[in-house]
Homo-oligomer: A and B are copies of this chain.
């Protein structure tokens, strides 16, 4: 998606010798909802024929993108929570996720009420790097006996193993911007 690639070139910042891409001015801290709308439209172009019944993302930075995209699909958007709160009864699907940005392992969880075996679930997230978050979401959908129709991610770091790992499971992954390489000097898209 040219629009997103151009935006990453213009406003993305590469940090720590090319290991971290900061897109927090428009994607995952401050959010450009006009861009999110175009992203949602593109996900709908890619997955609109898949009879999606539910969108699943994970807190926090996937939520805005998933909600704006959800308007095109006209289905409920569900976000996996990262910690157990008093507001959840205990009747949840959980999966462990290893965090690239925070370090350590946390659990993601979804209340069982909201995923049914009949659901056709589109996963949406901002980043795909090591694939840990998507793997957690896939595990949750599988626990519910529902179907993953695919994963739409905004940015894939194609030089990290996540994309390959998720595709090897037979899951269709569509990344709107795929980064081939990154260094202190800049980045290259696939």
Contacts and interface: CB of A to CB of B under 8 A. Distances in A.
A5 to B, nearest CB: 20
Interface string A80-94: 011101111100000
A79 B29 contact: yes
Given A64-B63, A77-B64, A87-B24, A29 B71 contact: no
Nearest to A67: B64
Interface string A35-50: 0110000000000000
A20 interface: yes
A173 interface: no
Contacts of A22: 87
Q: How many copies does the complex hold?
A: 2
**Interface residue tally of chain A, by bracket?**
35 or more
A110 B30 CA distance: 9
Nearest to A92: B29
Contacts of A70: 31, 33
A102 interface: yes
**Ordered nearest first, which 4 A-B pairs have the shortest CB separation?**
A59-B60, A64-B67, A33-B70, A63-B63
Interface of A: 15-16, 20, 22, 24-26, 28-34, 36-37, 59-60, 63-68, 70-71, 74, 76-79, 81-83, 85-89, 101-102, 110-111, 113-114
